[in-house]
Amino acid sequence: EPEVTQTPSHQVTQMGQEVILRCVPISNHLYFYWYRQILGQKVEFLVSFYNNEISEKSEIFDDQFSVERPDGSNFTLKIRSTKLEDSAMYFCASSEGGANVLTFGAGSRLTVL
């Protein structure tokens, strides 16, 4: 069964450092998403991406965040200057169409010290 692949599985960084989280969506999917889950809390929407541009973003997705699809397979989330409160599990997801089921990756745990 096709999977969404995320790297790294766990990253520890110092406050103020830049972090890039990587995702390889399922190959025939056209919509890509980032969600985050702070430990013990709900999964929160960050951003959706379609046709090489952001289609929606939440209030969490401020100027410190950016997304990019640098090639035909990767979808990245960059946090420019990490804060302690950015510590969370970040999930990438993809869907075939905008109305289709989302498939989640295994997540990247970010710890900001």
Partner 1 sequence: GENVEQHPSTLSVQEGDSAVIKCTYSDSASNYFPWYKQELGKRPQLIIDIRSNVGEKKDQRIAVTLNKTAKHFSLHITETQPEDSAVYFCAARSLSGSARQLTFGSGTQLTVLP
Binding interface with partner 1 (CB under 8 A): 33, 35, 41-45, 48, 55-56, 58, 91, 98-99, 101-107
Q: State the Cα–Cα distance between residues 93 and 11, nearest whole angstrom.
A: 19
Shortest Cβ 91–partner 1 spacing (Å): 6
Both structure tokens of 27: 């190959």
3-state secondary structure of 3: coil
Shorter beta-carbon distance to partner 1: residue 35 or 75: 35
Shortest Cβ 75–partner 1 spacing (Å): 16
Contact 90, 106 (CB under 8 A): no
Shorter beta-carbon distance to partner 1: residue 24 or 43: 43
Shortest Cβ 101–partner 1 spacing (Å): 6
Shorter beta-carbon distance to partner 1: residue 18 or 97: 97
Sorted by sequence, the CB contacts under 8 Å of residue 20 that are 6+ apart come out as 76, 77, 78
Contact 55, 37 (CB under 8 A): no
Shortest Cβ 46–partner 1 spacing (Å): 9
